[in-house]
Amino acid sequence: MKAIKLMDVVKHVNAIDYTAIDRTISVTNVEFDARKIQPGGLFIPLVGGSTDGHSYIQQAIDNGATATLWSRDQSEAPSDQLAVVFVDDTLEAFQKLAHFYRNEINPVVIGITGSNGKTTAKDMTASTLKAKYNVHKTEGNYNNEIGLPYTLLHMPEDTQVCVVEMGMSGFGEIEQLSKIARPDIAVITLIGESHLEFLGSRAGIAQAKLEILKGLKENGIFIYPANEPLIETEMPEINYPIYMRSFGFDDQADVFAYDLAEEPDKTYFKTNIDDNVISMIPVIGAYNVSNALVALSIAEVLDVPSEQAIFQLAQFKLTANRLQWLKTHQGARLLNDAYNASPTSMNAVLTTLSNIELEGVDRKIAVLGDIRELGNMSEQLHRELSHSIDPTIIDKVYLFGSQMTYLYDELKGKFAAEDLVHIEADHAELIATLQADILATDVLLVKSSFGVDLLQVVTALTGQVTK
- H or E element: which one contains 253? none
C-alpha count within 13 angstroms, C-beta hemisphere, residue 448: 22
Q: Are 144 and 46 in contact (CB under 8 A)?
A: no
The greatest distance separating any two alpha carbons of the chain, rounded to the nearest whole angstrom, comes to 76
Q: Are 235 and 247 in contact (CB under 8 A)?
A: no
Please list, in sequence order, all residues whose beta carbon lies within 8 angstroms of the beta carbon of residue 264, skipping any fewer than 6 positions away: 284, 325, 356, 357, 358
Query: Is 28 annotated as contributing to ligand binding?
Result: no
Q: Are 399 and 368 in contact (CB under 8 A)?
A: yes
Query: Is 344 annotated as contributing to ligand binding?
Result: no
Query: Is 117 annotated as contributing to ligand binding?
Result: yes
Which letter, b or e, does each residue of 296-319 get, where b requires 16 or more Cβ atoms within 10 Å of its Cβ? bbbbbbbebebeebbbbbeebebb
The residues pairing with 365 across neighbouring beta strands, listed in sequence order, are 396, 444
Measure CA 142 to chain center.
8
Query: Is 116 annotated as contributing to ligand binding?
Result: yes
Dihedral sign for Cα atoms in the order 336, 340, 343, 344? negative
Query: Is 138 annotated as contributing to ligand binding?
Result: no
Residue 24: strand, helix, or coil:
coil
Measure CA 170 to chain center.
16
The residues pairing with 423 across neighbouring beta strands, listed in sequence order, are 400
- Smallest Cα–Cα separation from 117: which of 141, 150, 151? 141
Query: Is 111 annotated as contributing to ligand binding?
Result: no
Separation CA 445–CA 456 (nearest Å) = 14
Query: Is 66 annotated as contributing to ligand binding?
Result: no
Query: Looking at residue 426, what DSSP letter applies?
Result: -
Binding site feature residues for ATP: 114-120
Binding site feature residues: 114-120
